[in-house]
């Protein structure tokens, strides 16, 4: 893909570590970010803020995930039925790895 110059407008990686690897590969391939391609990660690990360019990412509610997990474990240990779906909110952390082609949500 890089060698052919046939790039998508953006790539959304499943986690920040993979996105940071993508940033490195694009740099090695002389691909400009965010000029030629936008890169977004998922997790908001500490390193995401310090790579070049700083990585735009989706922040997970890690504290809430841990608290909910502990609550569900205790329910399970008390043999209570767990028949519910939980949705936790995420947050877009806009940094410099995404082109400003449209306003961020």
The predicted pLDDT at position 81 comes to 82
* C-beta pairs of 91-94 under 8 Å, 24+ apart in sequence: 91/44, 91/58, 91/59, 91/61, 92/56, 92/58, 92/59, 93/44, 93/48, 93/56, 93/57, 93/58, 93/59, 94/56
Report pTM.
Answer: 0.79
pLDDT tens-digit readout, 48-65: 999 999 999 999 999 999
Strand segments, DSSP code E, in the chain are: 10-12, 38-43, 56-59, 91-93
Q: Where are the domains of the chain?
A: 10-61+89-93
Nearest to 68 by CA among 39, 45, 89: 89
* Residue 7 confidence (pLDDT) above 60: yes
Which CATH class name applies to 10-61+89-93?
A: alpha beta
Per-residue pLDDT tens digits for 51-100? 999 999 999 999 999 999 999 999 999 988 878 889 999 999 999 999 87
């Amino acid at each position: 893909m890089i060698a052919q110059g046939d790039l998508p407008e953006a790539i959304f990686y499943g986690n920040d570590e993979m996105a940071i690897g993508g940033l490195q590969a694009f740099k090695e391939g002389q691909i400009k970010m965010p000029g030629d391609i936008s890169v977004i990660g998922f997790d908001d690990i500490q390193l995401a803020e310090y790579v070049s360019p700083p990585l735009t990412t989706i922040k997970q509610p890690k504290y809430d995930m841990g608290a909910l997990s502990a609550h569900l474990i205790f329910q399970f240990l008390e043999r209570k039925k767990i028949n519910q779906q939980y949705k936790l909110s995420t947050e877009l952390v806009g940094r410099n790895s995404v082109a400003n082609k449209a306003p961020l949500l």
